Amino acid sequence: MIIYNVTVNIDKTITEDWLKWIKTHIPQVLATGKFKEAKLTKVLVDDDEADTYSIQYRAHSREALDDYYVNDAPGFRKAGLDRFADKMLAFRTELEIVDEFSEASK
């Protein structure tokens, strides 16, 4: 299983607007059918000028993620850049789940 992680650094002057937008953006990404679920998390760092968030999308498969890159990602990236321009910086990583554990699996 692959997690597509998008980490975004947002100028504090637009954080509230960005959060409203991202909460509508994430369901649009999920609607592509390429991902099983998504989690929006705040990265806990001490920064007076910016807030950092991470969105973790769990892909259905490697093929689904590759299809997302080709057919969906360019439009979604453009929408964010058009709206927030130089007030946000995003970088993307892929994480492969090796194993999963839970409290119940003790």
Contact (Cβ atoms closer than 8 angstroms) between residue 6 and residue 80: no
Domains and CATH numbers, the chain: 2-84 (3.30.70)
From CA 87, how far away is CA 17, in angstroms rounded? 11
Positions of the chain with pLDDT lower than 70, given as ranges: 105-106
Q: What is the pTM of this model?
A: 0.92
Q: What is the pLDDT, as a whole number, of residue 39?
A: 98
Q: What is the pLDDT, as a whole number, of residue 104?
A: 82
